[in-house]
Each structure stands twice: as C-alpha cells, then as structure tokens.
Structure 1
Amino acid sequence: MNILQWIRSILFSVQATIVLPIIGLTYAPWAMVSKRGAYAGCRAYARWVIWTAGWMINLRCEVRGTPPTMGALVAAKHQSFLDILMIYNALPASKFIMKSQLKYAPFLGQYVTKMEFIFVDRGKRGAAITKMVQEVEAGRREAGQLVIYPQGTRSAPGTKMPYKVGTAILYEQLQQPCYPVATNAGVFWPRRGLYRRPGVAVVDFLPPIAPGLPRDEFVAELEQRIETASDALLEETGVAHLYGKN
C-alpha cells in the first residue's frame, strides 16, 4: 500500500461523507413530497461517489450483464458499500431489503423509508421472513426490482457463507425471474478501513433464473452461479492470492 494512495483514499472518504448531507438537504424538499425526489437524491449521491472514485482513487466502476427493467427479484453478492451504490444506480426502480436499524440513519433512513424499502430484523429470522413476504405482497401494485442479499450480510472476497432461506421464500412468493449478481467490489473497497485499492470494481448481472424451481434446487443454482462468477471476478483483479486463491 503506497502513501499516495492512502492520502487519496482518506480525501475520498472525507469528501464522500461531507457530500452526503449536502445532497440530502438539497433534495429534501422534493423527497418529502415525492418518491421520485427520494430516488433522484439517492441516485445523485450514488453517481457522485462512483464518479469521484474514478478520478480521486483510480477506482473505476463497471456494470456487466443486463440489469432488469421490469419486476424481478435481484439476489446479489454483498462485499462492500460500493456494490450497493453500483446496483442501485444500475436499476431503474429498486427496492432493497435492509436491516431495520438503517431506518434511523440520518438522511438515509428518511429517504429509503420514502422509497418504501423493506426493513427486517435480522435477529428474529422467522418473523423477519414473514414480515418481508407480507410487505413484498403489499407492494406488488408497483413494478420494480426487489434486491436481497442471500447471505444476509457482507462477506470478504473469496469467503464462503451460507445462503439463507429468505431469498427462496421470496422467489416462490413473487413468481418472478431472479437475477443473480456477482461482484468483486470488496477487493477495492473493503468492509473495514479507509484504504481504497485502485482498479476496476465490477457488479455482474447474470442471466436470470426462471420462476418455478423447487426451493432446494433454486438455492443450489443461485449459490453456484453467484459464487462461481464472483470467484472469476476476483481472479481478474490480479490479487486473488491475497484472499487465499491460487
């Protein structure tokens, strides 16, 4: 890790933190009266972070595959805050399933509540899934892309974590295609720390899994696709050996 990249990383993180309330306040009047305003404010912040990452820390963001534009379930690998921004920016009408604590976060909580994101308590698994299904069913009057993280939390590149049953329940309930999403974003923007590695962060929208598969078959297929593609993206970075690969 070189000193110059450390300085760039710190400056990047500072400006991204400062800009969040600026954009939040700028869009607040529109967001308070319109869901479109809330979406626009969040998209403005996502695009700002992605743009500044390119020239401040030499981190380019690339979306591969074909993101859905109609109603769909999106099941994504989660390694970093960056992959959230990239997926959000790539989808026209996303609704994320989020841990309930985030509804109280300054600016973020108010915006995602207005956009009708779905909050669940990860500490109460059965109740969380029931609530999740009920809220998804109630929101079907509006087409959109429901984004869930099948492993339930961030995981470091190259690590294996179990895929939870909630995604399969939603897949059965919605009867919509499920788009697996792979990523290598955690290589460049890790879960902890300020250092940001230069390179190309990728989120890859893989071909959809059609509705109708049995639960166990769906989970196995989803995990195989996401993990295989994420490992391939890790190999592309040239630093797979740092994560126990090769």
Structure 2
Amino acid sequence: MPEALPAMIFVRSHAFNVLFYANLIVQMIVLGPLMLFGPEATGWWVVKNWARSSVWLLEHVGGVRSKITGIEHVPAGPSIIAAKHQSFWDVFAIIPDLDRPTFILKKELMRIPLFGWLAASMGMIPVDRAKRGGAVASMIEGARKAVAEGRQIVIFPEGTRTAPGAIADYRQGVFRLYEDVGVPVVPVALNSGLYWPRHAFLRRPGTIRADYLPIIEPGLNRADFLSHLRDSIETRSADLMAEAYASDGHLPASQGSRDV
C-alpha cells in the first residue's frame, strides 16, 4: 500500500492541474464578458467564483485542503495585505475573504490575451520591474487610486515566489507603498510552497495554512517597518512549516524533502 502512494499523488496532481487550468480558461472565456461589460459587483462575483472553485478542485481532486486564519485582523476600509509568496495558491486562495482586492503584479502578465484585459478591468496594478524607479512611481499611482476607492492592496514583499526555508529578501517597494498611502499593513504568513512547490508538477497532500497577522500601523521608519514586517511573517511562516511537518511530514527542499 505505501508503494502506491506516489502513483496516487501523481494521478491526483495531474487531474488537478488539467482541471485547474481548464477551469481558469473556461471561466475567462464564458464569464469574462460579464467582467468587461457588466457592473463591478458582477465582475467580483466571477473572480470569487473562480477562486472558490479553484480551492474546491485543489481539495477534492488534488487532495490538498486550505485553511486561512486571522482574517479578523484585516481592518474595514483600505489596507495593504503584505503576503509571503511561495505558490499560485497565494493568489487565488485569499481572494474570497477580501473585499475588492487590488493585486500588484508584474507587467508581463498584462500581455496575456484576455487575462490582461480582465485584470485591467478589475483595477489590478501592473509593475514594470525593468524600469526601477519608474516602476515604484507607477505602483504608487495605482495604489493611491485603489486607496481612494476603499480597496485592499495585495503585495508580495519578496517580489517573486520563494522556496520554503529560503532566505527572504524583502524589497523596498513595500515600504514605499506603506510610506506613501498611509494605511495599515496586514502581514500574511503561509506554508503553501510545501504543498504546491515552485516549478513542480506534483501537489503534496495535506493542509495549506495561511495566517493573517496583527496590523502594522502607519508611521514607522523604513528600518523599523521592514524589520517588523519580516520578523512577523518569517517567524509565523516557520511555525506553519513546523506544523506542516508535524501533521503531514513535509519539509522544505533545503532540509531534505523532495518535490513529491
């Protein structure tokens, strides 16, 4: 029986991947016009329907559950959601619990046919990372508009997906955003990379955890803000990884696990 487990994981992972991307494509084609031409509320119904259906597929087809805690820390009104980033799960799984979130994403994604149009219609903020200082100015301009509309801004402070257990490099963009728009920051810790590894086909069974943490109020200087943000996210993420090992036996690749 134990020998059959890797084969079962492979089959479930393959089935999930096919259905996940098919679900994304079909919903963009069939429901995309509602987002482009319908009222904003309808657009958010489409987006959240896709997010919830993706979470459902991950659990019931892929064998990976999702558990998100600490949502009570998200204040009413505009805020910055600063989340650790380890997998695609970090994008869709947090959407249902947020109100009209604006994601800061790389500009290349906006060039994808249909997806880019839909992302623009929902007010996402593209960033051209090749422009350096110009990228920050563009991000802040979009963020000011989102805050004026009372929306939450989702940013991944590391700027890209990082492997669980890797040394975290928090970019200055998150501080520039915090400094300029003057709203609370909600750190988010998670362990998704243990179950949905970067550049890997397989999805490891178990329960992905994400935890919204107590807010960081406006007004800190750069050093204090980045230290507080990094310490809160990394400390709790380490706890969640330890819990993942205790419950599901998963370790970061740097500590001897394999992407199976």
Measured at CA, do residues 241 and 42 of structure 1 come closer, stay the same or move farther in structure 2, by a change above 3 Å? closer
Partner in structure 2 of residue 53 of structure 1 = 58
Among 6, 17, 26, the residue aligned to 2:21: 17
Partner in structure 2 of residue 110 of structure 1 = 117
Question: Normalized against structure 2, the TM-score is what?
Answer: 0.89
Q: Which AA in structure 2 matches 1:121?
A: D
Is 1:158 aligned to 2:165, yes or no? yes
* Range 31-40 or range 227-236, more displaced: 31-40
| CA-CA distance at 1:242 after TM superposition | 4.2
Is 1:236 aligned to 2:243, yes or no? yes
| CA-CA distance at 1:172 after TM superposition | 1.0
Matched position secondary structure for 1:139: helix
Partner in structure 2 of residue 89 of structure 1 = 96
Question: Normalized against structure 1, the TM-score is what?
Answer: 0.94
Measured at CA, do residues 144 and 241 of structure 1 come closer, stay the same or move farther in structure 2, by a change above 3 Å? closer
Identity of aligned residues (%): 33
Among 220, 223, 229, the residue aligned to 2:227: 220
| CA-CA distance at 1:163 after TM superposition | 0.7
Maintained 8 Å contact 1:10/1:195: yes
Is 1:131 aligned to 2:138, yes or no? yes
Measured at CA, do residues 83 and 140 of structure 1 come closer, stay the same or move farther in structure 2, by a change above 3 Å? closer
Matched position secondary structure for 1:137: helix
* Range 98-107 or range 136-145, more displaced: 136-145
Among 171, 175, 179, the residue aligned to 1:172: 179
Maintained 8 Å contact 2:89/2:192: yes
Measured at CA, do residues 76 and 86 of structure 1 come closer, stay the same or move farther in structure 2, by a change above 3 Å? same
Maintained 8 Å contact 2:106/2:126: yes
Give the root-mean-square deviation of aligned CA atoms: 1.6
| CA-CA distance at 1:241 after TM superposition | 6.0
Q: What stretches of structure 1 move > 3 A for 4+ residues in a row?
A: none
Q: Deviations over 1:23-45 (max 9, x none)?
A: 11222232112333332222111
Q: Deviations over 1:116-146 (max 9, x none)?
A: 1100011222111111112222333310110
Measured at CA, do residues 188 and 41 of structure 1 come closer, stay the same or move farther in structure 2, by a change above 3 Å? same
Work out the CA distance in 2 between the residues paired with 1:139 and 1:45.
22
| CA-CA distance at 1:214 after TM superposition | 1.0
Work out the CA distance in 2 between the residues paired with 1:165 and 1:200.
32
Is 1:44 aligned to 2:55, yes or no? no
User: Which consecutive unaligned segments of at least 5 residues does structure 1 have?
Assistant: none
Maintained 8 Å contact 1:42/1:111: no
Kindly tell me the number of residue pairs found equivalent between the two proteins. 245
Matched position secondary structure for 1:190: coil
Measured at CA, do residues 103 and 136 of structure 1 come closer, stay the same or move farther in structure 2, by a change above 3 Å? same
Equivalent positions of 1:191-230 (< 5 A) are 191-230=198-237
Work out the CA distance in 2 between the residues paired with 1:109 and 1:118.
11
Work out the CA distance in 2 between the residues paired with 1:29 and 1:112.
12
